[in-house]
């Protein structure tokens, strides 16, 4: 064997290093992209401030102070925007530009790649929670109820991320990049308006029972309960079920190129 500059010395990096590398890269790209940042932080913050002011003005009949009801809702919205819309758009363009194909030639397994993506989503969500939670606290939000509340909040965010990420991947893996972009934004807007994310399902009257079966409603309810220090088992089960359906369909339909 030669000892030249290019003498072969092949080998894959340890999986943990690959996972962290991939997650770091994806999170960085997401936070550097203006549109993604708009979706991840700017819109939720505007929604939070606007909704709190609006609720006070029109005297919305909420079960508690508007800021305490709306901040958890906006946190749920942030999870949805990152795990669903941002992920779908980014992955759609990764397919289009051959990034997934290129990564497919690196010694990176698909499981590690997916794990990296999920970890990147969680990193971005931590950042979102800090910003949105900070704005909420500044506006008088009482915050999650103790350590139990924080843990319940993390559990809800995790289940919501899994459910929305599996649906986002389903979209990205079956449509063209432009169609994914359009559909991911449209679904986001529809769920934002009528999916019981920001406003509790009880505000939807008779439809409330229906929207709680949506991943958006289930996530919203789970985050609101968590902030009150409770684990909303039923809503978490709904999210897990969506994860199962989304993952199974994605595994069948996802096209890497």
Binding site for another protein (CB under 8 A): 1-2, 4-14, 17-18, 21-22, 25, 29, 32-33, 93-94, 97-99, 101-102, 104-109
| 101/234 with CB nearer another protein | 101
CB 117, min distance to another protein, A: 13
Measured distance CA(60)–CA(57) in Å, rounded: 8
Give dist(CA 73, CA 223) in Å, integer: 7
- Smallest distance from the beta carbon of 177 to another protein, in angstroms? 11
**Smallest separation (angstroms) from another protein to the CB of 80:** 23
Tokens 């409770």 label which residue? 230
Angle in degrees, 0-180, between the axes of helices 177-194 and 146-174, rounded to the nearest 10: 140
Of the candidates 114, 133, 131, 125, which has an alpha carbon nearest to the alpha carbon of residue 81? 125
Q: Give which of 169, 167, 174, 162 is closest to 90, Cα–Cα.
A: 169
> SS3 sequence, 195-209?
CCCCCCHHHHHHHHH
What b/e sequence results for 200-217 when a residue is b if at least 16 CB atoms lie within 10 Å of its CB, and e otherwise?
bbebbeeebeebbebbbb
Q: Any idea what the Cα angle at residue 64 is, between residues 58 and 69, rounded to 5°?
A: 80
Write out the DSSP string of 123-142. Answer: HHHHHHHHHHHHHHHHTT--
> 111 or 137, CB closer to another protein?
111
**Scanning the structure block, which residue is given the tokens 């749920």?**
76
Question: Smaller CB distance to another protein: residue 4 or 205?
Answer: 4
- Residue with smaller CB distance to another protein, 88 or 187: 88
26/125 with CB nearer another protein = 26
Of 106 and 179, nearer to another protein (C-beta) is: 106
Supply the minimum distance, in Å, between the C-beta of residue 202 and another protein: 42
226, 152 Cβ separation under 8 angstroms: yes
From the CB of 34, what's the least distance to another protein, in Å?
Answer: 10
Give the residue among 188, 186, 178 at the shortest CA–CA distance from 84: 188
* Cα atoms in the 13 Å half-sphere on the side-chain side of 255: 11
Closest distance to another protein from the beta carbon of 142 (Å): 39
State which residue, 234 or 252, has the beta carbon closest to another protein: 252
């Amino acid at each position: 064997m030669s000892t030249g500059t290019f003498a072969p010395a092949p080998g894959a990096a340890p999986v943990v290093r690959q996972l962290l590398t991939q997650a770091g890269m994806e999170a960085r790209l997401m936070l550097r992209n203006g549109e993604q940042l708009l979706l991840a932080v700017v819109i939720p913050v505007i929604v939070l401030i606007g909704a709190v002011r609006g609720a006070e003005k029109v005297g919305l009949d909420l079960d508690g102070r508007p800021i305490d009801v709306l901040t958890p809702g906006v946190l749920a919205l942030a999870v949805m925007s990152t795990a669903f819309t941002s992920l779908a758009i980014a992955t759609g363009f990764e397919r289009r530009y051959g990034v997934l194909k290129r990564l497919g030639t690196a010694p990176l397994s698909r499981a590690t790649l997916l794990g990296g993506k999920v970890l990147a989503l969680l990193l971005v969500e931590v950042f979102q929670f800090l910003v949105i939670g900070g704005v909420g606290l500044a506006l008088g939000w009482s915050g999650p109820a103790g350590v139990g509340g924080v843990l319940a909040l993390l559990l809800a965010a995790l289940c919501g991320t899994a459910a929305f990420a599996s649906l986002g991947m389903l979209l990205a893996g079956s449509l063209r990049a432009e169609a994914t972009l359009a559909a991911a934004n449209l679904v986001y807007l529809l769920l934002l308006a009528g999916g019981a994310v920001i406003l509790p399902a009880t505000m939807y009257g008779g439809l409330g029972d229906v929207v709680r079966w949506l991943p958006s409603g289930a996530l919203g309810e789970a985050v609101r309960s968590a902030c009150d220090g409770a684990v909303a088992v039923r809503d978490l089960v709904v999210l897990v079920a969506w994860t199962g359906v989304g993952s199974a369909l994605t595994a069948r339909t996802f096209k890497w190129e």
